[in-house]
Amino acid sequence: MTGTVVSYREALRAAVGDAMRGDERVFLMGEDVGRYGGSFAVSLGLLEEFGPERIRDAPLSESAFVGAGIGAAIAGMRPIVEIMTVNFALLALDQIMNNAATLRHMSAGQVGVPLVIRMTTGGGRQLAAQHSHSLEGMFAHIPGLRVVAPATIADAYGMLAPALADPDPVLMFEHGALYPVRGELPDPCPAVDLTSAAVRRAGTDVTVVTHGGSLPKALEAAEQCSSEGMAVEVIDLRVLRPLDTETVVESVSRTHRAVVVDEAWRSVGLSAEIAAQISEMAFYELDAPVARVCAAEVPVPYAAQLERAALPQVEDIVAAIRGVGG
């Protein structure tokens, strides 16, 4: 499929299919991933190719099927576990935090858990509070996990292979608003590491740091600001644990201003961690305080106008860029 124009969900589907064709240990498990084709159509058609042993519909119990994935990983398989939304991942938090993330440490390195957990995150689709939150920062807080957030077609395809090759658990957060987005999947698709941020737009006046579904908004805001004579650099973190602080600090040291955009809540969140690291490592390079653009401190509303007001928008990012003196 490389070298063609595909949607974000099609790139993910291609990555899963290619991984399963290349390694018989790989299988997909989750709610409605089989006959239904996945809640967001990522696994559509895979059951017909690989059969029910490798595309496994799971019961409505995140704790149970994430636990089964952990066991399969320990036994030598390479499971991909799909959780419908990040909100539902909280039902498996014990398995993720107290088992998957800790077993290598607690076994003195004897037991690894090569498990990939994919889940949808983010709002903007009128799915209300139980299906719309951005909890990546909560999981990025946990040692023993690697947390990634592909925001482009190339990363949606390219991040799965290194995630499956990782000897420890990897959580992949897919923003729901990105699934229908279309773009070219390069041929060959460039290799993707799970350690580095990516500079998506070069600039000299302000650094905007973001990830996932906020990346298109940040790029649009940067384009708007360019008409005002501001050259905005946009960094896609891509990997939320471990954070590539070096790329962020290098950029801020050149632009001397920073705006952090995060669809999650502002209080005690990922944006605070990034702002703190910038302040710790590049304080004397800053010409203005680090600005943050985050969600309102409320459960994500259902009503479209309220949801829009609660989540970061392009105009909010533009205002923050102007506010830091870009």
Report, as residue numbers or ranges, the catalytic residues. 62, 131
Whole-angstrom distance, CA of residue 241 vs CA of residue 244:
8
Whole-angstrom distance, CA of residue 221 vs CA of residue 19:
36
DSSP state at residue 141: T
Handedness of CA 151, 153, 156, 158 (dihedral sign): negative
- Those residues whose C-beta lies under 8 Å from the C-beta of residue 257, and which sit 6 or more positions away, are 205, 206, 207, 286, 287, 288, 324, 325, 326
Lookup: tokens for 69: 């994935």
Q: Are 255 and 224 in contact (CB under 8 A)?
A: no
Whole-angstrom distance, CA of residue 269 vs CA of residue 9:
28
Handedness of CA 127, 133, 136, 139 (dihedral sign): negative
Task: Please name the residue that has the structure tokens 């989540």.
Answer: 311
Whole-angstrom distance, CA of residue 185 vs CA of residue 173:
19
Q: Are 119 and 86 in contact (CB under 8 A)?
A: yes
Torsion angle of the four alpha carbons 150, 155, 156, 161, in this order, in degrees rounded to the nearest 10: -110
Q: Looking at the chain, list the stretches that DSSP marks H as alpha helix, in order from N- to C-terminal side.
A: 8-22, 46-50, 62-74, 86-89, 93-95, 103-106, 136-140, 153-158, 160-165, 215-226, 245-255, 270-282, 304-310, 314-323
- C-alpha to C-alpha distances, 135 to 9, 51, 241, nearest whole angstrom: 21, 33, 13
